[in-house]
Structure 1
Amino acid sequence: MIQTPGLWLTILAFVLVIGPLVFVHEMGHYLAGRLFGVKADAFSIGFGREIFGVTDKRGTRWKFGWLPLGGYVKFAGDMNAASQPDAEWLSLPAEERAKTFQVKPLWQRAIIVAAGPAVNFLLAVLILMGFAVAYGDSRTTTVVGAVEKGSAAAAIALQPGDRITSVGGRSVEWFEDIRRYVRIRAGEQAEVTFDRGGTSIRRTVTIGTQIQRDRFDNEYRLGLLGVAPAQAVRVSVGLLEAPGVAVRGVRDIVTMMVETLGQIITGKRSVKELGGPLSIAKASGEQLALGPDAFVFLIALVSINLGFINLLPVPMLDGGHLFFYAIEAVQRRPVKPQVQEWAFRGGLAALLALMMLVTFNDLGAFGLWKNLAGLIG
């Protein structure tokens, strides 16, 4: 039975996910700027016309925009997304100019820019630490306990008692390592190495495909090897061990993001799998309906996504700024303003095109195009 969370719960969940994460991201920039003495003119959650706001004693305008799909910190002297100084910057008194972003050393500017994504990753680490302490960590070995008949594992004659040592050329220590590799490679070929009685055996397998549907009627295409572990083990995690477990969890999620993005770029996955704000809103409502644990874990995932995407070397994103700073560090002078301006225009165009694509995908996932085709037909 399909159980939809409803429109208002979905809207509430989306606001509860995006709002705090954008605030945390921008707060990273803001606090790093304050650390190095940079004045912030504005701190905005949302874009466009201001709905309401307040100005603090430092002269920073804290406000909410009508379009809640992001946010920004505008530091003193900024004129545009490339953080180029405005026309009045040179005429500022020396004391005020010293508080602007542009006058700071390269390393300080880089830290200020990188602080936003860094805080997103830190938040995810803290959340995963909480899950590790509360629920423990999976430490299931790669010894095969059962092989499903007709599965990919059966096709290469895996047997109970075999210990899988590598998949796709990657060594695996825990059963979860196998699951992570296989689940995003449905239908692909991979080399599996396993130990049987002290003898190492290497065989090529075509990973199986499993179609799953959840209670909200979402369909997932997952890779399946068709093996079960000999013994599932979950160990308790203490506070001292939790940071390491959480960092590994974030690393594994980022690795999966990079690999999935690479599959889309190389054509192994359809661009239709890219989702946008509407997909995040839908997932937010569904996870909130499932309970607080699922919802908090979604916040960690979205926070990692936000940090990862912002580090991509695309102009308009934090990674684009850092890319230009890297060039500046190498050539010992800033990239020419004209080059930055055209690069950021191109980056803006690319982001707008991507936004249109993912919105098109979202509407298609909601059945809009199919319904319109039915009406026309």
Structure 2
Amino acid sequence: MTILWQISLFFFVFAPSVILIHEFGHALAGRLLGRNDSTIVLGKGREVFSGVWQRIGVSIRQWWFLGGYTKTISSDHAFSAGKGILIALAGPVINLICAWVMFITFPKTFIWQWTAYFHLWVGVVNLIPLYIAGRKSDGWHAIQLFIRVLCERGKT
């Protein structure tokens, strides 16, 4: 397999799979904690596929390889801050676990190594509290909720 083919395969199949796994971590944590209105959106542009799996909505967009997010209908305030923190951290944690498993068990080939490093990158970067151009990282959400917990404790 040529290097160009492997790079294409990584960007159009493996990298979107890493994002899907990350978003699934959020949706699954929300589902386990009682949130039943999560939808995973993969990509940008018009919707080309939608479905439901285990009561988690999935929407695949035209440009599926350009990121993703998990959306919910209910407000973040509908849950306790503790549950919100768990949901926010579930995506990065599942990426870090996948990276660890891949580094230990998968063959040391170009495509698997890139995928493992991308899992690691997505997990670590999403733990950093960032707010860029109106977009908040998972770390940002977790820190905001943690501050809310501290403020609520200070009131009592």
The TM tier, using the shorter chain, reads: 0.7 to 0.9
One-letter code of the match for 1:103? A
The equivalences for 1:4-153 within 5 A come to 5-6=3-4, 9-55=6-52, 58=55, 60-67=56-63, 68-77=65-74, 85=75, 101-130=76-105
Select the residue among 139, 142, 150 that pairs with 1:322.
Answer: 142
One-letter code of the match for 2:62? W
The one-character-per-residue Cα deviations of 1:135-186 (angstroms, maximum 9, x if unpaired) are xxxxxxxxxxxxxxxxxxxxxxxxxxxxxxxxxxxxxxxxxxxxxxxxxxxx
Contact (CA 8 Å) 1:40, 1:73: kept in 2 or not? no
Aligned to 1:370: none
Q: 2: CA distance between counterparts of 1:108 and 1:57?
A: 20
Contact (CA 8 Å) 2:27, 2:38: kept in 1 or not? no
One-letter code of the match for 1:48? G
- Structure 1 regions of 5+ residues with no counterpart? 78-84, 86-100, 135-291, 334-377
Of all paired residues, the percent bearing the same amino acid is 29
Q: 1: CA distance between counterparts of 2:8 and 2:110?
A: 17
**TM-score, with structure 1 as normaliser:** 0.36
Aligned to 1:344: none
SS class of match (2:3): coil
SS class of match (1:61): strand
Contact (CA 8 Å) 1:38, 1:76: kept in 2 or not? no
Aligned to 2:112: 296
The one-character-per-residue Cα deviations of 1:233-287 (angstroms, maximum 9, x if unpaired) are xxxxxxxxxxxxxxxxxxxxxxxxxxxxxxxxxxxxxxxxxxxxxxxxxxxxxxx
- Structure 2 regions of 5+ residues with no counterpart? none
Q: Larger helix proportion, structure 1 or 2?
A: 2
**Greater Cα radius of gyration, structure 1 or 2:** 1
One-letter code of the match for 2:98? L
One-letter code of the match for 1:308? V
Q: 2: CA distance between counterparts of 1:76 and 1:113?
A: 16
Aligned residues: 147
Contact (CA 8 Å) 1:123, 1:300: kept in 2 or not? yes
Matched, 1:309 2:149: no
Deviation of the 1:55 alpha carbon: 3.9
Could you say which structure has the greater relative contact order, defined with CA pairs below 8 angstroms and 6 or more residues apart?
2
The one-character-per-residue Cα deviations of 1:293-320 (angstroms, maximum 9, x if unpaired) are 2221111111110011111111311011
